[in-house]
Amino acid sequence: MQSYGRLLIVLALSVISGWFLFHKTPETSDTETNNVAASASINQNVLMDASFTDMNGQQQAIKQWRGKVVVLNFWATWCPPCREEMPELSAMQEQYNNKNLIIVGLSTDDLDTTKTFIKKAPVSYPILAGDMQAMKLAETLGNNRGILPYTVIVDQKGVIVKRFFGRVNQQLLEKTVTPLLQVSAINEKQ
């Protein structure tokens, strides 16, 4: 009987730890940011050369969004924090639709699984399906932890400027994208 009690305590602590890890949204550290700069050109080329299938079965190249601030969100249908952040990402896309910002959801599931999910939970931003290639890209772009959701902010030149492990929200994203959008607005006026 005592071993069952210990097992329940260990199980409860595991569940609580897992919940905390998935709901916490740590940003990259300064050290990670410096490492990002060192590998930026390699990552930028890999990112801009990548293409994935959209919900209509068409290949979509990431480089088509060069010139915009891109919020690239890696997610999965089975991931609760991924699903939780989608309505907020959708609202943000609607709010910033005409302000040179695009949110792109890159599913780590196959196309059929992703399509089935999106039919039930539509969003206002493009969704691409990448399966294992999406996870490989996420790893190349700094997700050495294999955590989902994983979000990468890319500036207008295609340079990765920020990474987020775990669930994001609009306030956290706006802190990063607002200065980028202001630079874009100034450049358009010149």
Q: Name the residue among 104, 100, 101 with its Cα closest to residue 189.
A: 100
Q: Residue 53: its pLDDT value, please?
A: 97
Which string of DSSP letters, residue by residue, matches 31-82?
HHHHHHHHTHHHHHHHHHH-EEEETTS-EEEGGGGTTSEEEEEEE-TT-HHH
Angle between helices 131-140 and 40-49 (to 10 degrees): 160
Residue 44 pLDDT level (bands cut at 50, 70, 90): confident
| Closest to 79 in 3D by CA, of 163, 151, 29 | 151
Amino acid (one-letter) located at 177: V
Model confidence at 17: pLDDT above 60: no
pLDDT at residue 19 in the model = 43
Q: Do the Cβ atoms of 152 and 102 come closer than 8 Å?
A: no
Q: At what angle do helices 30-38 and 40-49 cross, to 10 degrees?
A: 70
CB within 8 Å of 55: residues ≥ 6 apart: 111, 114, 115, 118, 127, 129
Helices (H) and strands (E) in the chain, counts: 7, 7
Domain ranges of the chain: 25-189
- Which residues are registered as beta bridge partners of 54? 128
pLDDT one-digit tens code per residue, 66-123 = 999 999 999 999 999 999 999 999 999 999 988 999 999 999 999 999 999 999 999 9
Q: Which CATH number fits domain 25-189: 3.30.420.40, 3.40.50.150, 3.40.50.720, 3.40.30.10?
A: 3.40.30.10
Please say if the pLDDT value at position 27 is more than 50. Answer: no
